[in-house]
Structure 1
Amino acid sequence: MTIDTALAALTPLLGDRLSRSKSDLESHGQSESHFPPIPPDGVAWPVSTEEVSRLLTICHEHGCPVIPFGAGTSLEGHTSAIRGGLSLDFSRMNRVLSADPGDMVAVVQPGLTRQELNEELRTTGMFFSVDPGANATIGGMAATRASGTTTVRYGTMRDNILALEVVLADGRVIRTGSRAAKSAAGYDLTGLFVGSEGTLGVITELTLRLQGQPEAISAGVCAFERLEDAVGAVQHTIQMGIPMARIEFVDTMSVKAVNAYSDTHMPELPHLLVEFNGSEGAVAEQAEMFGEIARDFGAVGFESATRTEDRNRLWRVRHQAYYACLGLRQGARAIVTDICVPISELARAVAETRADIDASHIPGPILGHVGDGNFHAILLVDPDNEVEMAEARRLAARMSERALALGGTVTGEHGVGMGKRGYMEAEHGEAWAVMGDIKRALDPTGILNPGKLVRGN
């Protein structure tokens, strides 16, 4: 039994929704990461949980690897078919199955994107809060335990998923969790699958916690002369308990890139971008309190925005920062890496990372969701220059080692994939071996996204 025999057995089930064309294979071998393309042997577009179950049963019998595929925006090689096999594209399972304002929940399929979901919810008075920046699919966000700009107030995907429908490697379909706000009934299997990166099961349905659209929203931006002052303002704001909806950092190099890319005119200094949600009075009070803290740390001005179009313009600066930074060096590829540290260590971690990059010959903007201690470095390299690639890997390794030394984690939101797998033992010790035990129990033949997250799969 081989991959080819598995794909032959799948043809009657899927018909023209199974492709082996070169263009489809190549498009599903690409990602936003710096890893070279690794195409699968086939691409399938399932349309139901039942179909996914039958598909996995066949692949399990033939030993054919299966790699779930959402929008392809992952940064650590999560969707690369490094053992070959079948890419499972969920773009045709992209519906909102229900949205209930009474319970503040929505049930969705995994191929639905974050922006599509919030468009569907516009008339309900609700919204889904997790915003990783990219227009990722909800299933992919769950698989990588994504977070993003709003995490400081609303939490990560782990906090916003109540229940899942999951197809296991052998085709069994299970449901985890419920619509209830909490449960003490048995193991938290929902939490187990959120962040498992497709290595334990294939998510086919998600029950999500929603938020009420706030009465008032105010956004703002301010600049600082020194990076350390901007990060210090973040730390003090969090310690004061001001309920920020977003608090984002972009350094001087990032601002320079955004100005060139978006035709903005921000001072080329470190900036904080903030947002407040709530009642009119609460938002005004929160903005005033933050403004006082920012001024105490030497902020240069504080531009406020309450109109929707002005807020959207402000946040486009952050959401387009990755593509803007690529423009700093034509033809470069980006090695994008993230770490997360305790908020008390954030200023040190950012400053030392900035010093490391400045001492190298590689440009590397820094930006991030600093309200929860998470930041990113975008290392711009010539992919054909092995000296630069080695230097970028060294800088990324320094970041990961620094995070662990400061009591943090080697990835706050990008996930492990194959890019950060080498740090898992250092971060988790014997617990990493336990993860491998769980993997073998649920996927004994190792067909689910092999080569990612755990050892030896």
Structure 2
Amino acid sequence: MSSAAAFSAESSARPTTESLQALIVELEPVLGERLTTVASIREQHGHDESWHHPAAPDAVCFPHSTEEVAAVVKACAAHRVPVIPYGVGTSIEGQVIADHGGLCVDLSQMNAILAVRPEDMDATVQPGVTRTQLNTDLRATGLFFSVDPGADASMGGMASTRASGTNTVRYGTIRDNVLAMTVVMPDGRVVRTGSRARKSAAGYDLNHLMIGAEGTLGIITELTVKLHGLPEAISSATVAFDDVAGAVNTVIASIQYGIPMARIELMDALAMRAVKAFSGLDHAEKPTLFLEFHGTHAGVKEQAEIMAELCQEFGGSDFAWATQEEERNALWQARHDAAYAAKALRPGMEFLATDICVPISQLAECIEATQADVAESGLVAPLLGHVGDGNFHLVVAVDRDSEEELETLAAFNQRLIDRALAAGGTCTGEHGIGTGKRAYMEAEHGEGWAVMRAIKAALDPLGIMNPGKLV
């Protein structure tokens, strides 16, 4: 049997009852009541925010330190029990679903902010710290952590799924904002990746290898992240367009002009209708850009004026400014709640959230083709996205009991991803792979996917780390 075939066979096996019992006996002295097989807790950890079918782990544990995580992983390796890292369960491609059973390692109680260094503009945190928790702690420093995926995700979870969000166009993704990590490897070794230096040419980039690995190569137990200075002035605005092409062409022009936007978000007319009903926004049901400017008072004023001229050139109207913090917060909360607003368009239905990312020059054509496809398919699928970096989402409300709708959705999703790859893009800009997009990896990466599988097999030969995900 080849090494790849052996790896595949190992990773598809469920743990035996005997191996699970032996694992629990070994770990109970280490974790005590923080190791449980209670059905309700197992079920809670068997799903995320995705529409993928849940699958509960055989047990759940709540470690408090890197040393405890290392002990857990060593024991799981010895007993051939799968390990599923868990943050707060906000992933949306099935990353935490325990399809092969095993032990869920819930890192939410590892939520200490270990150090904040304002002079170096960085902080070191445990993986269970959420972005809101960190930014609350940073208020007195004049600094903030920029990655904002919408959900109050954990830092470890964001790194594991290579998260981004509304601030990406200016501040980058989580990949750009993690300097160093502590990772427990599949055999229980503790490895430190990266450093607090802002650049390095020392060897393989293990830091970025672990970011986006979705727990398939190890468990992140500590992160050192970049911080950014709070801007002197912030101004937000919305502007409506008669068609999506005008909105997208405005975005493309703003990037080509070099306007240092902090956020550029798009919602199509259906998304605006959903958000208006769900969040009470008093906005037109038209394709709309949500904009935010950061900088000095003079800089923000200049950016806003240039952007207003561009919007008018491409048919934008009905500018609505939000300069007060309360107004801005309400505006962006409505944007973050868009997925739930979309779901409310068809009460009782489930929703599939999918995303692609394309080069900015291909964005208008890709969105227009996608909207035409939505109309032809008859799906209810509001479109929204972080268009400043070419990333957009569709939130498709579907009757799971309708075979016809499911077949229509599957065919539509395949066409969407084919369209993205043909444009030189990716099957996922920020949601990750999990189980939901694993089928598209070979088409996107070709032989690169075989290299990823080889890395997985080399680092995790037993196939115990989040088996069935990503590779």
Classify the TM-score, shorter chain. Answer: over 0.9
The match for 1:122 is 139
| 1:77 equivalent in alignment to 2:94 | yes
CA distance in 2, matches of 1:158, 1:264: 33
- Please give the secondary structure, in 2, of the residue aligned with 1:4: helix
| 1:213 equivalent in alignment to 2:230 | yes
Q: Shift in Å at residue 417 of structure 1?
A: 0.6
- Please give the secondary structure, in 1, of the residue aligned with 2:261: coil
4+ runs deviating over 2 angstroms: 1-5
The match for 1:332 is 349
Q: Shift in Å at residue 2 of structure 1?
A: 2.2
The match for 1:282 is 299
- Please give the secondary structure, in 1, of the residue aligned with 2:23: helix
- Once the two structures are superposed, what CA deviation does each residue of 1:4-31 show, in whole Å capped at 9, x if it has no partner? 3223322221111011111101110121
Q: Shift in Å at residue 259 of structure 1?
A: 1.0
Q: Shift in Å at residue 284 of structure 1?
A: 0.4
The match for 2:394 is 377
- Once the two structures are superposed, what CA deviation does each residue of 1:58-78 show, in whole Å capped at 9, x if it has no partner? 000001000000111111100
Q: Shift in Å at residue 390 of structure 1?
A: 1.7
The match for 1:228 is 245
The match for 1:189 is 206
Whether the aligned pair in 2 keeps the contact of 1:335 and 1:392 (CA below 8 Å) is: no
CA distance in 2, matches of 1:451, 1:6: 21
- Please give the secondary structure, in 2, of the residue aligned with 1:2: helix
- Please give the secondary structure, in 2, of the residue aligned with 1:415: coil
Evaluate the alpha carbon distance shift between residue 4 and residue 384 of structure 1 in structure 2; reply closer, same or farther with a 3 A threshold. farther
Partner AA of 1:38 in structure 2: A
| 1:163 equivalent in alignment to 2:180 | yes
Instruction: Count the aligned residue pairs.
Output: 454
- Please give the secondary structure, in 2, of the residue aligned with 1:432: helix
CA distance in 2, matches of 1:386, 1:113: 39
Q: Shift in Å at residue 262 of structure 1?
A: 1.3
- Once the two structures are superposed, what CA deviation does each residue of 1:405-451 show, in whole Å capped at 9, x if it has no partner? 00000000000111111111111111111111111111110100000
- Once the two structures are superposed, what CA deviation does each residue of 1:243-277 show, in whole Å capped at 9, x if it has no partner? 00000000111111111111222101000001011
- Please give the secondary structure, in 1, of the residue aligned with 2:239: strand
Partner AA of 1:139 in structure 2: G
The match for 2:193 is 176
TM-score, normalisation: structure 1: 0.98
CA distance in 2, matches of 1:130, 1:68: 21
Q: Shift in Å at residue 84 of structure 1?
A: 0.4
Q: Within 5 A, what are the aligned runs for 1:294-305?
A: 294-305=311-322
- Please give the secondary structure, in 2, of the residue aligned with 1:60: helix
| 1:398 equivalent in alignment to 2:415 | yes
The match for 1:48 is 65
Partner AA of 2:326 in structure 1: E
The match for 2:4 is none
Partner AA of 1:181 in structure 2: R
| 1:111 equivalent in alignment to 2:131 | no
Provide structure 2 residue ranges, at least 5 long, that are not aligned to the other structure: 1-17
Point out the more displaced range, 210-219 or 258-267: 258-267
| 1:445 equivalent in alignment to 2:462 | yes
CA distance in 1, matches of 2:430, 2:152: 15
The match for 1:291 is 308
The match for 1:431 is 448
The match for 2:21 is 4
- Please give the secondary structure, in 1, of the residue aligned with 2:214: coil
- Please give the secondary structure, in 2, of the residue aligned with 1:301: strand
CA distance in 1, matches of 2:134, 2:467: 30
Whether the aligned pair in 2 keeps the contact of 1:149 and 1:369 (CA below 8 Å) is: yes
Q: Shift in Å at residue 388 of structure 1?
A: 1.0
The match for 1:94 is 111
Point out the more displaced range, 386-395 or 269-278: 386-395
- Please give the secondary structure, in 2, of the residue aligned with 1:221: strand
| 1:147 equivalent in alignment to 2:164 | yes
Q: Shift in Å at residue 335 of structure 1?
A: 0.8
Whether the aligned pair in 2 keeps the contact of 1:164 and 1:176 (CA below 8 Å) is: yes
CA distance in 2, matches of 1:393, 1:19: 37
Q: Equivalent of 1:414, from 412, 419, 431?
A: 431
- Once the two structures are superposed, what CA deviation does each residue of 1:128-156 show, in whole Å capped at 9, x if it has no partner? 00111111111000000000101000001
Q: Equivalent of 2:375, from 338, 358, 375?
A: 358
The match for 1:200 is 217
Coordinate RMSD, CA, aligned: 0.8
Partner AA of 2:319 in structure 1: F
